[in-house]
Amino acid sequence: MTGVTLSRWTMSYFAAALVALMAAEAMMAVGYGFPAAAIAAPETLILVHVVAIGWLSLLMCGALLQFLPVLVAQPLYSNALALPALVSLVVGLAALILAFLQLDGRIAPAVPFFAIAAALLIAGFAFVLWNLARTMAAAPTMPLPARFVVVGLAGVTFTVVLGATFALVLGGTVDYGPLVALTTAGLPIHVVAGLGGWLTFTAMGVSYRLLAMFMLAPELEGATTKAALLLGAAALGMAIAGGILAVLLGGNPSLALLAALAMGVLALALYGADVLHLYRARRRRNIELNSRMAAYALVSLAASVVLTLLLLAIRRLGDHAAAVVFLIAFGWLSGLGLAQLYKIVAFLTWLECYGPVLGKGPTPRVQDLVVENRAGKWFLLYFIAVWAGAAALLAGLPLAFRFAAALLLVATVGIVAQLVRTRRLADVKDAARLPQGARPPRLLLSCQP
C-alpha cells in the first residue's frame, strides 16, 4: 500500500459536469423539454441526457477516479486513461444531442449521429470502467462501500448497452426484431438501470464512506449494510434481467419492475436506517456544510420513495413519473453531489496546494478555503427550488415549474461561484495564501510534483 495521490483529471470532470448542470437548468427555465414538450419528445430526451450523462455521470466518474482508490486503498490504475474517457463522453453526448435533433427533423439525417454517439459513449464508459476495474482487481480488500460501487458499475454497463441498442435501432442501423421490441418497451428498464443502478447505488456506496469520514462516525460493515447491498443488487437484477427477459418473451416488464421496486424500497429503508445511525453515532458534534446539506438530499430520496409508493397506491405513477424522476435527479443525486463537491473540491485543492509544505511552516486549514455561511444560503435556495419544482410538476403548473427551474439555476450558479473561489484560494487571507514552496492550483487540472 503506497497511498493515494490526486487524480489529475477529476477537476476537469467536475467542471464539465457543472456546465452541463447549468445548461440543463437553463433549458428547464426557458421551457425546453418536459413539461412543455411530451415526455418522450426529442427535446425531453436531450434535456434528460444532458442531466444524466453530462452532469450526473461525469460527476460520478470524476469522483470515482479520485475516491474509489480511497475506498479500496489502492492507487488508481491509470491517470492517463481518464482524459480520453472524458473526451469520448463529452463528444459522445454532443453526438447524442445531434441525433435527437435529427429525430426531431431539425437537422438533416445525412450523418449517422446515433451510431457515432453509441460508439463514443460505449468507449468513454468502457475507459472509465476498465480503469476502475483494474484498480479494484489490484486491491487487497473490497470493503462494503466498494461492493456497492461494483453493483453501480454493473448498472452503468446495462444502461449504456440498452441505450446504445436504442440508438442503433432509432438511427436505423439495426432492425433486428427483438432489439426493436426492446427499444419500444425497454425505456423504463434503461431509466431504472441508470438512475437506480448506476447513480443511486454508487452514491449510496460512496456516501457510506464519506459520511463516516467527515463526521467521525464508525464505518458500517454490519448486517443491515450487507442486507441493503444484497437486496439492492437483487432488485436491480430483477429489474434489468427480469425486465429484458419479459420484453424479449413478448410481455411487458411491469411485473418485474414492481417486484424490483419492492426489494429496492426495502434496500433503501435499510440504507436510511444506516445513515441515521451514522448521523447519531458521529463523534463530531458540529458537522460541516457538506454533511448538513447531504441530509437534505437524503430527505429528498426518502420523499421520492414515499411519493412513488403513494402514486402507485392511487394508480397515478404513470402520470407523475416525471415529478419522481425530477426529485431523484435534482433533490437526491444532484443535492448530494453538490454538497459533497463543496467539501471535496476544498479538500483536494488544499491537499494539492499545501500538502507539500505541511509541517514546514504555518499553512491554512481546509476550512480556511471556504466560507460556509455564504455557501449555505445558495444551498438552501437550491433545495427550496428543487422541492418547489417537484410540487409544480405534481400540481401540473408548467409556469411555476419554469420559475422554480430559474431559481435552481441561480442557486447553482451561486454554488459554482463558491467552488471556483475555493479552487482559486480566493477566500484564504492574502498573507497566508501561498507559503514558501506552495504553488497555486490550476482551475481544471491537479498536478502533484
Partner 1 sequence: MASSFVELDVRPILRAGGEPFEAIMGAVSKLGPGQGLRLLATFKPVPLFSVLGARGFAHEAQELAGGDWEVLFRPEEGASQPPSAAAETGSADASDWPAPVQHMDNRDLDPPEPMVRILAATEALKEGDVLSALLCREPIFLLPELAKRGHAWRGAFEGDGKTYRILVRIGAAGKAAA
Map the footprint of partner 1 across residues 107-146, applying CB under 8 A.
140-141
Residues 3-32 as x/- pattern, contact with partner 1 by CB under 8 A: xxx---------------------------
Report the candidate in 243, 274, 276 with the shortest Cα–Cα distance to residue 260. 243
281 is an interface residue for partner 1 by CB under 8 A:
no
One symbol per residue from 198 to 237: x for binding partner 1 (CB under 8 A), - otherwise; what is it?
---------------xx-x-xx------------------
Query: What is the residue whose three cell numbers read 446495462?
Result: 158
**Contact call for residue 77 and partner 1 (CB under 8 A):** no
Kindly report the CA angle at 60 between 114 and 269, in degrees rounded to 5? 110
Query: Is 76 in contact with 65 (CB distance < 8 Å)?
Result: yes
Minimum Å distance from CB 4 to partner 1? Answer: 5
User: Shortest Cβ distance from residue 71 to partner 1 (Å)?
Assistant: 10
Beta carbons of 6 and 351 less than 8 angstroms apart: yes
Q: How far is the CB of 69 from partner 1 (least distance, A)?
A: 8
- Residue from 280, 283, 315, 429 touching partner 1 (CB under 8 A): that is 283
Is residue 436 a contact residue for partner 1 (CB under 8 A)? no
User: Distances in Å between the alpha carbon of 282 and those of 49, 257, 365?
Assistant: 37, 36, 21
CA separation for the pair 389, 384 (Å, rounded)? 8
Q: Considering the rule CB under 8 A, would residue 105 count as an interface residue with partner 1?
A: no
Task: Give 23 or 432: the residue with its C-beta nearer to partner 1.
Answer: 432
Amino acid at 209: R
**Residue 333 CA to chain centroid, in angstroms?**
5
Q: Whose CA is closest to 118, among 128, 129, 126?
A: 126
**Contacting range for partner 1; rule: CB under 8 A; set: 66-74, 229-237, 310-318, 434-442:** 66-74
Contact 388, 401 (CB under 8 A): no
- Whose CA is closest to 230, among 346, 147, 321? 147
* Member of 19, 23, 36, 70 binding partner 1 (CB under 8 A): 70
Cell of 28: 428547464
What 3 state SS string does 176-214 have?
A: CHHHHHHHHHCHHHHHHHHHHHHHHHHHHHHHHHHHHHH
Asked if 347 interacts with partner 1 (CB under 8 A), we say yes
Q: Which is nearer to partner 1, 5 or 79 (CB)?
A: 5
Residue 204 sits at the vertex; the CA angle it makes with 202 and 209, to the nearest 5 degrees, is 100
106 binds partner 1 (CB under 8 A): no
3-state secondary structure (DSSP) of residue 175: coil
Residue among 360, 374, 439, 442 that touches partner 1 (CB under 8 A): 360
Query: How many binding residues for partner 1 (CB under 8 A)?
Result: 30
Residue 78 interacting with partner 1 (CB under 8 A): no
Q: How far is the CB of 448 from partner 1 (least distance, A)?
A: 8
Per CB under 8 A, residues contacting partner 1 are: 1-5, 69-70, 73, 140-141, 213-214, 216, 218-219, 283-284, 347, 350-351, 355-356, 358-360, 363, 365-366, 448-449
